[in-house]
Amino acid sequence: MIQQIVFATNNAHKLAEVRAMLAGRIEILSLADIGCTADIPETADTLEGNALLKARYVHEHFALDCFADDTGLEVDALDGAPGVHTARYAYPDRHDPEANNRKLLAALSDCTDRTARFRTVIALVLGTAEYLFEGVVEGFIVPEPAGTGGFGYDPVFAPAETGLTFAQMGVEAKNVISHRARAVAELTAFLSRQ
Ligand code: IMP
């Protein structure tokens, strides 16, 4: 069984989530823990490509097993956009969540089809092998932002299974069904079998 693995992130929330799921089984190291301060490039044009870029970077530079994630919001009426550009949808050079939400609602103002999904891809590099895991939550974009919790697109995205936005659901209920939780569950099930 693997003892230690790097999660190529410094996002404290994501680290805590994954550490909790693997508690007592595998130690999760962050980029800070291994002394990686590089701004790892995310220049691929797919979620899979970006997750692999990050995991491979750590494996190549630090010779450690590693996994990395990438998430996109895919809106059907926008042919899957913002997709791989989700973080920087409104401005290519910066992450402005409120501007992202405004741009999305404006793009859908005349649309009756508001179906969308959040998709998280996790890439794992283990020795010479590479694996991909996915978590998806299907839902729709609401007409106006609703709710005060969460981050990013949480006020405008509602999972089909609850009908409330992620921002209205609260973080605990969100984390039971979220795209990220589902992808992490696939990863942890795999790692537990190694
Ligand atoms: P990342 O790959 O996890 O950094 O996610 C890329 C972008 O997707 C983030 O900057 C957010 O804008 C958006 N995003 C990812 N996960 C969520 C979520 O759970 N709720 C709302 N927005 C999210």
Sequence-separated contacts (24+) of 51-55 with Cβ below 8 Å: 51/121, 51/122, 51/123, 51/132, 52/123, 52/125, 52/130, 52/132, 54/8, 54/123, 55/8, 55/123, 55/124, 55/125, 55/130
Active-site hit among 65, 69, 70, 154: 70
Residue with tokens 């990438």: 70
What end-to-end distance do the CA atoms of the chain give, in Å? 5
Q: Are 153 and 104 in contact (CB under 8 A)?
A: yes
Query: What pLDDT does 97 receive?
Result: 96
Mean pLDDT of the region 82-100: 96
Considering only CA atoms, which of 176, 133, 194 is closest in space to residue 21?
Answer: 176
CA of 158 to the centre of ligand 1 (A): 14
Ligand 1, residue 73: give the atom nearest the CA: 8
37-47, pLDDT tens digit by residue? 999 989 999 99
Lowest mean pLDDT among 31-35, 83-87, 168-172: 168-172
Global confidence as pTM: 0.95
9 lines ligand 1 (CB under 6 A): no
**Mutation choice for ligand 1 from 151, 156, 176, CB with most ligand atoms inside 8 A:** 151
pLDDT attached to residue 145 = 98
More confident position, 194 or 58: 58
Q: Could you tell me if the CB of 154 is within 6 A of ligand 1?
A: yes
- Structure-model confidence comparison of residues 171 and 114, the more confident one: 114
65 is catalytic: no
Q: Cα–chain-centroid distance for residue 167?
A: 16
Q: Is 87's C-beta closer than 6 angstroms to any atom of ligand 1?
A: yes
State the average pLDDT for the chain.
Answer: 95
Task: Please give the average per-residue pLDDT across 54-64, as a whole number.
Answer: 97
State which ligand 1 atom lies nearest to the alpha carbon of 178: 19
> Ligand 1 centre from 176 Cα, in Å?
16
Is residue 1 scored above 70 in pLDDT?
no
Q: Read off the DSSP letter of residue 94.
A: B
Render pLDDT for 163-180 as a digit per residue (tens, 0 to 9): 999 999 998 899 899 999
Alpha carbon distance 167, 152 (integer Å): 9
Percentage, residues of the chain above pLDDT 70: 99
